[in-house]
Structure 1
Amino acid sequence: METRRILMRSLAVAVVITSVIWITTDQKVRKPCCTKVSTANVTDPIINIRLQRKSLPCVKAVIFKTEQGEFCSDPRQRWVKEKVKQFLNFNLKLQINSDQHVLVLLAVDVSKYVQEVLPQT
């Protein structure tokens, strides 16, 4: 009877410890996201672009990566659309010179990106 009580207490402690570790680990896995966007033009050279979809608390954004950091921009802004097109066109030209197979994959990704990400105006 005493052994059973000790076993149950040990099991309860193990469950609590596991829960705390799981919750702590889960919080570290989540990437930071843009919770608001700026309408200010990004003037630094762009290293990379990625899309963030709306999933609260994150908002829909185009994220420009520069040497100065990442900037969350409103995808509805005209200048954002132009920057994305310029970036994609430049990178598409680079791919033409290096590898035709990558070009095909990139062209498909660009088409999908432009259709899904940039709102039509």
Structure 2
Amino acid sequence: MNQSNHINAQILKALIIDDETDICYLLSRLLKQKNLETAFVNSLTAANEALETEHPGIIFLDNHLPDGLGMNYIGYIKKKYPETKVVMITAHDSAIDRAMAIENGADFFIGKPFTKEIIYKAVEAVCA
């Protein structure tokens, strides 16, 4: 199995961490169209629990969650699950936020509102 196929095999599961349930449903629907298995949670506490059983290859992470900032959670994900790709997705889309997300280890950054094309671009970028 070449490395590209190996990475794609790891990214069959996606975990969405966002407190807006409609965003979770929308992302889930879009990702399923790309043959990714999806699950979603609405807080960092629930994300900790989900990560104990789910082993996603990619995480779509909102920044402003009820129990903390996703930006501060990226390091935890990267330390505990170094192979997992993190896509930061937030309504607060500034150059500072983008730089901080990448500095903290995010693999891709998406501002809200987003299009299906940008979601697909993110999936392709982190799978490459």
Asked if Structure 1 and Structure 2 have the same fold, meaning a TM-score greater than 0.5 normalized by the shorter chain, the answer is: no
Q: How does the TM-score come out when normalised to structure 2? A: 0.24
Q: How does the TM-score come out when normalised to structure 1? A: 0.24
The structure whose RCO (Cα within 8 Å, separation 6+) is larger is 2
Structure number having the greater helix percentage: 1
Bigger radius of gyration: 1
